[in-house]
C-alpha cells in the first residue's frame, strides 16, 4: 500500500475513533434544546384534554416533534397522561432513545412515534389511543368512514394495521422499531390508522389538530356504529364533500381547542 494512502487511512480511522470513541454509540443523544413554554404547555394540556374527552385514559400517549430539530420529539414519561406535567416530558431521538431520562421509564410503545416521525416529515404531532369507539372497526369487516362533517379527515380511507403481519404472535404492543416501521408504512400518507384489536394512531401538523382528529375519530366511529346498527345502507359522506369540509375544519378547529384548553387550565390552576 502506498505510504500516502496508508497515512490517509490511519488518519481516517483516528478521526472516526475521535468522533465515536468505544461505547459512545450507546450514549444518550444530545438535546436539541428547550422549547418555548407555550408549546410545552400545549403538549401537557393535550394529554389532559384527551383524557377529559375519553379518548385516552390510563393508557395512550401524545407526542410532538421538536420545533427546531426535526430529528427529536417530545413525549411524557411512562405515566397516565392525565398526570403529565412539563417536568414529565422527555426528549427522544427518532430511534426513540431518550436524551436524558434521569432514570425515568419510557413508554414501551414509543417506537410508534419515532418511526412515524421518520416516515412522515409533514407530521408534527401524534396521538396513540385505545379509544373504545374505534376498536370495532379494527376487528370487523366494516371500514371506518366519514359519516358526519367533523369526521371528514377520515377520507379517503383508514388503513388497519395487522400486527401479526409484522410480528407474528405478539403481545400486541408496538414495542420494537421494526413493528413501529411497519405501522408507519401501513399509515402511509393518511391521517389515521387503526391497530387491530388495540387502538389507533392519529397524526397532524399541530397539537390542536391532532387532538381534534383523535377525538372526532372516536365520535365518528360511535356514530357510524349506531348508523350501521339501525340497518340498511348508510349514506356516507362523498369524497368531494370531505374535501370541501376539510377546508372549513382547518379554519375552525381552533375554536374547539380553545374551549378544551381553557377547561383543562382552569382545573390545573392552584386553588
Ligand atoms: Zn397501545
pLDDT tens-place string over residues 170-193: 999 999 999 999 999 999 999 999
What percent of the chain lies above the pLDDT cut of 70?
90
Residue (of 11, 117, 27) closest to 63 by Cα position:
117
**Torsion over CA: 261, 267, 268, 271 (sign):** positive
Query: What's the confidence (pLDDT) of residue 17?
Result: 38
CA of 107 to the centre of ligand 1 (A): 9
pTM of the model: 0.89
Q: How far does the centroid of ligand 1 lie from the alpha carbon of residue 108, in Å?
A: 9
Mean residue pLDDT across the chain: 91
Q: Report the separation in Å between the CA atom of 103 and the middle of ligand 1, taken as the mean of its atom positions.
A: 22
Q: Would residue 162 show up in a list of annotated catalytic residues for this protein?
A: no
Ligand 1 center from residue 238 Cα (angstroms): 31
Report d(CA 268, CA 261) in Å as an integer.
Answer: 10
How confident is the model at residue 10, as a pLDDT?
Answer: 45
Express the helix, strand and coil content of the chain in percent, nearest 5 each: 50, 10, 40
Which residues are registered as beta bridge partners of 90? 75
pLDDT at residue 27 above 90? no
Q: Which residue has the cell 346498527?
A: 229
Q: Give the model's pLDDT for residue 4.
A: 56
- Determine the pLDDT at residue 28: 82
Residue with cell 370531505: 242
Strands 89-93 and 72-76: antiparallel
- pLDDT for position 19: 38
CA 144 – ligand 1 centroid, Å: 19
Q: How many angstroms does the Cα of residue 70 sit away from the middle of ligand 1?
A: 24
Boundaries of every domain in the chain: 37-268
In the predicted model, what is the mean pLDDT of residues 202-219?
98
pLDDT interval class at 14 (50, 70, 90): very low
- State how far Cα 270 lies from the chain centre: 30
Q: Which one of 109, 115, 162, 241 is the catalytic residue?
A: 109
Q: Grade residue 22 by pLDDT with cuts at 50, 70 and 90.
A: very low
Sign of CA dihedral 113, 145, 249, 213: negative
- For the chain, the straight-line distance linking the first and the last C-alpha, in angstroms and rounded, comes to 77
| Residue 213 scores a pLDDT above 80 | yes
Beta carbons of 87 and 101 less than 8 angstroms apart: no
Closest residue by Cα to residue 199 from 143, 114, 139 = 139
* CA 207 to centroid of chain Cα atoms: 10
CB-based contact 139:196 (threshold 8 Å):
yes
d(CA 270, CA 161): 42
Residue 127 and residue 55 in contact, taking contact as beta carbons nearer than 8 Å: yes
Instruction: Give the pLDDT confidence score for residue 3 in this predicted structure.
Output: 53
Q: What is the predicted pLDDT for the residue at 209?
A: 98
pLDDT above 60 for 23: no
Residue 128 Cα, ligand 1 centroid: separation in angstroms? 7
Compute, in angstroms, the gap from residue 130 CA to the centroid of ligand 1. 6
168 Rama sector, left if φ>0, alpha if ψ -120 to 50, beta otherwise: left
pLDDT tens for each residue of 223-258 = 999 999 999 899 999 999 999 999 999 999 999 999
**Cβ neighbourhood burial of 271 (10 Å; 0-12, 13-18, 19+):** exposed
DSSP secondary structure string for all residues of 87-98: GGEEEEETT--B
Topology classification of domain 37-268: L-fuculose-1-phosphate Aldolase (3.40.225)
Average pLDDT of the residues in 84-91: 95
At residue 72, the 3 state secondary structure works out as: strand
Amino acid at each position: 500500500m502506498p505510504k500516502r494512502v496508508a497515512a490517509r487511512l490511519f488518519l481516517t480511522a483516528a478521526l472516526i475513533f475521535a468522533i465515536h470513541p468505544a461505547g459512545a454509540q450507546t450514549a444518550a443523544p444530545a438535546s436539541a434544546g428547550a422549547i418555548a413554554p407555550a408549546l410545552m404547555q400545549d403538549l401537557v394540556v393535550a394529554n389532559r384534554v384527551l383524557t377529559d374527552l375519553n379518548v385516552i385514559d390510563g393508557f395512550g400517549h401524545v407526542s410532538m416533534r421538536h420545533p427546531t430539530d426535526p430529528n427529536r420529539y417530545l413525549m411524557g414519561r411512562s405515566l397516565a397522561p392525565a398526570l403529565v406535567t412539563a417536568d414529565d416530558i422527555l426528549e427522544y431521538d427518532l430511534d426513540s432513545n431518550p436524551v436524558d431520562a434521569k432514570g425515568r421509564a419510557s413508554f414501551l410503545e414509543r417506537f410508534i412515534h419515532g418511526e412515524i416521525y421518520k416516515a412522515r416529515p409533514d407530521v408534527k404531532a401524534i396521538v396513540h389511543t385505545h379509544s373504545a369507539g374505534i376498536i370495532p372497526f379494527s376487528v370487523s369487516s366494516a371500514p371506518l368512514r366519514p359519516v358526519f362533517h367533523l369526521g371528514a379527515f377520515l377520507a379517503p380511507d383508514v388503513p388497519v394495521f395487522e400486527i401479526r403481519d409484522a410480528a407474528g404472535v405478539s403481545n400486541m404492543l408496538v414495542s420494537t422499531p421494526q413493528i413501529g416501521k411497519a405501522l408507519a408504512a401501513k399509515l402511509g400518507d393518511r391521517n389515521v390508522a387503526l391497530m387491530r384489536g388495540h387502538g389507533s394512531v392519529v397524526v397532524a401538523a399541530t397539537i390542536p389538530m391532532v387532538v381534534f382528529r383523535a377525538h372526532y375519530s372516536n365520535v365518528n366511529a360511535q356514530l357510524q356504529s349506531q348508523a350501521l346498527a339501525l340497518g340498511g345502507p348508510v349514506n356516507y359522506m362523498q369524497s368531494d364533500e370531505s374535501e370541501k369540509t376539510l377546508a372549513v375544519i382547518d379554519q375552525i378547529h381552533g375554536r374547539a381547542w380553545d374551549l378544551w384548553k381553557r377547561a383543562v387550565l382552569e382545573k390545573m390552576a392552584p386553588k
